[in-house]
Amino acid sequence: MKSLITGASGYLGQRLAMKLAETGESVHAMIRNPKAVKTLEHPNIKIFYGDVLDDNSIKTAMEGCDTVFHVAALARVWARDADDFYNINVNGTANVIRASQELNISKFILTSSTGTIGPSLNLPNNEETPRWSSFNNDYEISKSMADKELLKHAANGFPGLIVMPSRIFGPGIASPSSGVNRIIIGFIKKGFAVIPKQSGVIGNYGFIDDIVNGHILARDKGAIGEKYILGGENRTLGELFEAIKNRVNKNGLILKIPVWPLSYYSMFSQFLADRFGIEPRITPDLVKRLGQNSAFDCSKAISQLGYHITPFEEAIEATVRFLTKAQD
């Protein structure tokens, strides 16, 4: 079997490419950054330089493949030009779908996000939970639009489906898309962390190896036109930080502060971003999300795909061990 992975130079895409290659499969890795080649060195991986906005490079990379894992996305909370989210995440997805149709791809897996479902209320969200709140940012809006694009084609016979990772963490290349990894690295370097006082807010934390395996299971067992949440255990923010502290530095410090300083700082950061193009460390949207529960239910993926969740404590330990070694 031969698969194309768009976004193969990213945190998730690189891990998926290596997993497939190590199991003997052939991989066409589509990347934009030549420096990423070193992270994809494997005899079963063939590198293609391209862009999801360039039809010719997409088709060249896809030629001879059976499956497409469309992982490429602008996965940030801010961009200098908000149109970039829609060009890359929406138009780019449409381009890859069109090429897949022309080349008769047998299975298309779109990597979306649980962010498209939104915050949870009294029960964990599942794939059918209707969104009850407004979108937090252009990333979530654009990914939701990309989902609709895929489902529109799937309804007309296109062999596509959607996987929806939650907050990803775990061993892998450095990436802005893993906030949990950045928290761990910060704690390793500084020995302390700052969190809001409302530390009982729940999030779903998915171990990257589980999510990679979930992509492969979706290819092998997933039903056309379906969505599958790929996550982990639901834990409070306080539990997350305590788990990190216990493995990095038991004498470390977790400072709990009111939300309002974070809110004011985020507005100042947003002002600098809008006025001078300086990427914000934290945005008002992110502060809003810190106060919203984001619990998710992976039962559908478990029952229909055979998805497995690594225990939270075990996953944190493996991540801390990897990132600690990487800092040496």
Active site residues: 139
Q: Which regions of the chain does DSSP assign to beta strands (E)?
A: 2-6, 26-31, 45-49, 67-70, 107-111, 160-165, 167-169, 192-196, 202-207, 227-230, 233-236, 253-257
Closest CA to 292 of 140, 177, 134, 120: 120
Closest CA to 20 of 67, 58, 64: 67
- Distance of alpha carbon 196 from alpha carbon 198, whole angstroms: 5
Residue of 116, 114, 177 lying closest to 146 (CA atoms): 116
Integer Cα distance of 162 and 108 in angstroms:
8
Contact 111, 94 (CB under 8 A): no
CB 153 within 8 A of CB 99: no
